[in-house]
Every structure is written in C-alpha cells, then in structure tokens.
C-alpha cells in the first residue's frame, strides 16, 4: 500500500515538472494548471513537490526561468532588459536581483565569463527513483545493442573537476557531493562537452579521495572562477572515443542504456581500428542517457 502511494506521489510531481518544463516561458503560464496536472489540492501538491525536489513550485519556476535567461546571456547579445522580459520578469532590476540571489553572481559578471554559476537542472524525480531501484536490484544487464563509435582528437587542455572522497557511481556521488556541479560546469562556455560523471586516471587521485568525480574539459586559456573544492589539471593530447547507444522509447530505460554502452566498450576491439585505450592519460566521461539520443560515454585512447 505504501509503495503504491509513493508511486502516485512521484508520478504527480513528475507531471508538475513536465508541465513547468513545457510552459515556464509561456506568457499565459498559470500555477493553477500546475496544480491541476498534479490532481491534488494546492496545499498537498506544494508539500510533496518540496519534499521530492527541495523547492516549492514557485521557487522551481523562478530557477528554470533564470537558468534559461542565463543561457541567453551566454549565447546572445540581447540586453539584460530584453532577457529579463523574455524570462517573465517585469524589470531589469528584478531579474538582476533574483539572478544574483540564486547564482551568487550578477548577469554582467556571468556574461563576461568571470564566474561559473550553478544553472538549475530539472532532474526528473522519476529518474532518481528508477536509479535507486536499479541499484537495489543489482540489475547489471550488459547485453549490447547497436552502439556508434566516434573518435574526437583532443589538444592539450584543462580538466575542471570536483573530486569525491568515497563515491563509487552516480547515485553515491550525488548523495555525497550534491547535484549543483552539473549546472555550474555547464555554465562555462569554453568546455568541449557537457558536464559528466568521470573516472579519474591514477595520477589525479589524491590520498583520501576516490576515482569518481564530476568534470569537464576546457580550453587551456579558460580562467573561469570556481567554488572551493574544485580542482584543475592539465591533460596531454589524446583521442576520446565516443560510444553512443541507440535511442530508446521508455524514459525509464536510461540505466539499461548506460549499462549496454559500457558493455559495448568492454567488447570493443580498439586495436583492430588503430587505437589503444589510454585510461592513464585522461578521465573517462559518463554523460548519462536521454531517450531521444541514447547513452553517451567517452573514453581516452591513443593512436597506434
């Protein structure tokens, strides 16, 4: 009985998240419809939403709008006022004040590339519980489906990363270090790819820390300021082999897609194609999975 109630609660919050994701920037956005899609009273919907996401629906919507505004600051030359109005704020001042309160940096500081900011990532609540169940059930199905491999040459570059002390995989990493790292690292425009969970090479693992971290590769001249706890290292040139699985239909199948991709890496005969895996040169990157694109993992290699 309790398990069924928990499933109903997760499904209700997921519906609220989906509605916010699809309509947060609409001129006719209505919180009343957020509560209608939950199929609970406003009071109860507020309570379970805060319980599962850590924010009220109002705080959540503001974080979504500010993060989308931050993306426009980085990608366009639109004025702060234009971006404020597009983000459903009534004034430049209101947007700037809310921006600094959430991100601890002004819009101008972020636009100039002086500070990385913790962009808000809309983690679906249903994914966390699928991942938790997957871990508890110890499902390690590594049947390999079609997997595409793409080599990308990397020059000498920097690694920006947040190491953990005891994490072994994504769930334990987020339980130890939180989830702010993804939005923060993705706010840095000089990155080669999106933020990922990484497994460090031995030369970057300090005593008392695990091999698991979160990080990005950036250009050598990147000077972005990062919070305490983040580390910087230089990486020598190498090739990153990108393994990408097939798309999948059910959003809940992301764990299986990632495991399938790891299975493909284990079976990949790299030397047959002129490469040798080089885990001593750089981290491997787990970018996660999305239904429309599949899972994506990158591992370091060197040409034979």
Per-residue pLDDT of the chain (304 residues; tens, 9 = 90+): 566 768 888 999 999 999 998 998 888 889 999 999 999 999 999 999 999 999 999 999 999 999 999 999 999 999 999 999 999 999 999 999 999 999 999 999 999 887 899 999 888 888 766 665 655 554 445 455 678 999 999 999 999 999 999 999 888 999 999 989 999 999 998 999 999 999 999 999 999 999 999 999 999 999 888 999 999 999 999 999 999 999 988 887 888 899 999 999 999 999 999 999 999 999 999 999 999 999 999 999 999 9
This prediction's pTM: 0.81
Helix (H, G, I), strand (E, B) or coil at 135: helix
Q: Dihedral sign, CA of 284, 288, 289, 290?
A: negative
How does DSSP classify residue 115?
A: B
Judge whether 171 and 286 are in contact, CB under 8 Å.
no
Structural domains of the chain, with CATH = 2-111 (1.10.10.60), 125-303 (3.20.80.10)
User: DSSP letters of 10-47?
Assistant: HHHHHHHHHHHHHHTT-TT--HHHHHHHHTS-HHHHHH
């Amino acid at each position: 009985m309790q398990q069924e109630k928990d499933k109903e609660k997760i499904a209700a919050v997921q519906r609220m998240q989906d509605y916010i994701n699809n309509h947060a920037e609409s001129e006719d956005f209505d919180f009343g419809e957020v509560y209608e899609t939950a199929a609970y009273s406003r009071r109860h919907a507020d309570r379970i939403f805060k319980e599962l996401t850590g924010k009220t629906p109002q705080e959540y919507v503001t974080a979504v709008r500010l993060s989308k505004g931050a993306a426009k600051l980085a990608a366009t030359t639109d004025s702060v006022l234009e971006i404020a109005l597009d983000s459903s704020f009534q004034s430049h001042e209101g947007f700037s004040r809310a921006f600094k309160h959430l991100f601890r940096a002004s819009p101008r500081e972020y636009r100039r590339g002086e500070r990385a900011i913790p962009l808000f990532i809309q983690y679906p609540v249903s994914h966390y519980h699928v991942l938790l169940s997957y871990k508890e059930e110890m499902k390690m199905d590594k049947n390999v489906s079609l997997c595409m491999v793409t080599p990308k040459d990397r020059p000498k570059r920097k690694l920006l990363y947040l190491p953990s002390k005891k994490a072994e995989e994504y769930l334990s990493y987020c339980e130890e270090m939180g989830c702010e790292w993804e939005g923060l690292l993705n706010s840095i425009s000089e990155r080669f790819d999106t933020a990922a969970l990484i497994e460090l090479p031995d030369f970057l693992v300090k005593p008392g820390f695990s091999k698991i971290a979160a990080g990005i590769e950036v250009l050598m001249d990147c000077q972005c300021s990062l919070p305490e706890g983040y580390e910087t290292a230089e990486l020598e040139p190498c090739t990153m082999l990108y393994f990408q699985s097939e798309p999948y239909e059910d959003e809940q199948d992301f764990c299986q897609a990632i495991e399938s991709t790891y299975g493909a890496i284990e079976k990949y005969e790299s030397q047959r194609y002129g490469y040798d895996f080089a885990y001593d040169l750089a981290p491997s990157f787990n970018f996660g999975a999305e239904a429309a694109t599949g899972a994506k993992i990158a591992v370091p290699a060197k040409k034979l």
